[in-house]
Chains A and B, each alone.
Chain A
C-alpha cells in the first residue's frame, strides 16, 4: 500500500515535470523574441527539472539517495536562474531590443 502510494505520488510529480518541459519547449518555439524565449527556457529548467527530481526523491525515499537528490534540486534552483540572467544580460548589453514597452525613465546609463 505504502509502496504504491509512493509510486503514485512520484508518477504525478514526474509527469508534472515533463508537462512543464513540454510547455517550455513549446514556448521556445512559439514566443516572438529573445527575451520571451529566455523566460520559457529558464522556467522549463527550474520547474520541469525540479519536479522530475522531486518525484525521483519521493521514489528514493528518505535515505542518502533521497537527500542527495534534494541537494540537486537546490543546485538547479540556483543554477538555472543564474544562467538565465547571464543570457538576458548579455543580450541586453549587446543592444538586443525587446518587443513591447520599455520603461524609459532616466535611461541614461549607457544602454544603447
Chain B
C-alpha cells in the first residue's frame, strides 16, 4: 500500500513535469515509479508515512501561505542588514528543543527555519535543533512554537493531534 502510494505520487509528479508524453509516458513511467516507490517506502519513509489525503493537501497550502507571511518581513530585515554600509552583525548559535515527535514534521520544521531569512539550521542532536541566527531577535518567532504547532497539525502522523 505504501509502495503504491509512493509510486503514484512519483508518477504524477513526473507526468506533471514531462506532461506531453501521453500513454507511452505512463508505460515507461509506471515501472520506474514502482522501483523508486519501493526504495522510497522502504528507506525514505521507513519511519513515517506522510499523509496524501485532500485535507492534508489543503492544510499544506494554508501552512505554505503562513510560512510566506513570516518569510517576507524577515527577508526585508536581512536585506536591510546586508545593504547597511557599516556591516554590524551579532550572530548567535542557539539550541531549540523540538516538540514534534515524527521525522517528517522535524524535517519540515528544519526546512521552514532555513527558508526563513536570518535563521539557518546547522545540525540536529537528539531532540534539539542547532540553529545559527544572524541576529538574536531572528529566533523570536521560534520560541512561541506557532510554526511548529501548525506543522505537526498538517504533517504529523497521527499520534499527536
Q: Contact residues of A with B, CB < 8 Å?
A: 20, 23, 26-27, 30-33, 35-36, 38-40, 42-43, 46-47, 64, 67-68, 71-72, 77-78, 80-82, 84-85, 88-89, 91-93, 98-103, 105, 109, 111
Question: Closest B-chain residue to A99, C-beta based?
Answer: B91
Measured between beta carbons, the chain A residues less than 8 angstroms from B94 are 103
Asked whether, in the complex, the Cβ of B16 is within 8 Å of the Cβ of A67, the reply is yes
Which residues 60-109 of B sit at the A interface, judged by CB distance below 8 A?
A: 71, 75, 78-79, 82-83, 87, 89-95
Measured between beta carbons, the chain A residues less than 8 angstroms from B90 are 100-101
Measured between beta carbons, the chain B residues less than 8 angstroms from A92 are 122-123, 130
Give 7 A-B contacts (CB < 8 Å), ordered by A residue: A20-B75, A36-B134, A42-B114, A85-B110, A89-B123, A101-B93, A109-B126
B64 to chain A, nearest CB (A): 8
A13 to chain B, nearest CB (A): 13
A-B pairs with the 4 shortest C-beta distances?
A: A81-B114, A100-B91, A102-B93, A88-B122
- Is B125 located at the chain interface by the 8 A CB criterion? yes
User: A-side binding surface: helix, strand, loop or mixed?
Assistant: helix
- Is B37 located at the chain interface by the 8 A CB criterion? no
How many residues does chain B have at the interface if contact means C-beta atoms less than 8 Å apart? 34
Measured between beta carbons, the chain A residues less than 8 angstroms from B52 are none
Measured between beta carbons, the chain A residues less than 8 angstroms from B41 are none
Measured between beta carbons, the chain B residues less than 8 angstroms from A100 are 89-93
- Is B30 located at the chain interface by the 8 A CB criterion? no
Asked whether, in the complex, the Cβ of B118 is within 8 Å of the Cβ of A39, the reply is yes
Q: Given contacts A26-B83, A38-B120, A109-B125, is CB(A46)–CB(B115) below 8 Å?
A: yes
Asked whether, in the complex, the Cβ of B82 is within 8 Å of the Cβ of A81, the reply is no
Measured between beta carbons, the chain B residues less than 8 angstroms from A33 are 91
Asked whether, in the complex, the Cβ of A103 is within 8 Å of the Cβ of B93, the reply is yes
Asked whether, in the complex, the Cβ of B75 is within 8 Å of the Cβ of A82, the reply is no
What CA separation (Å) do A109 and B79 show in the bound complex? 35
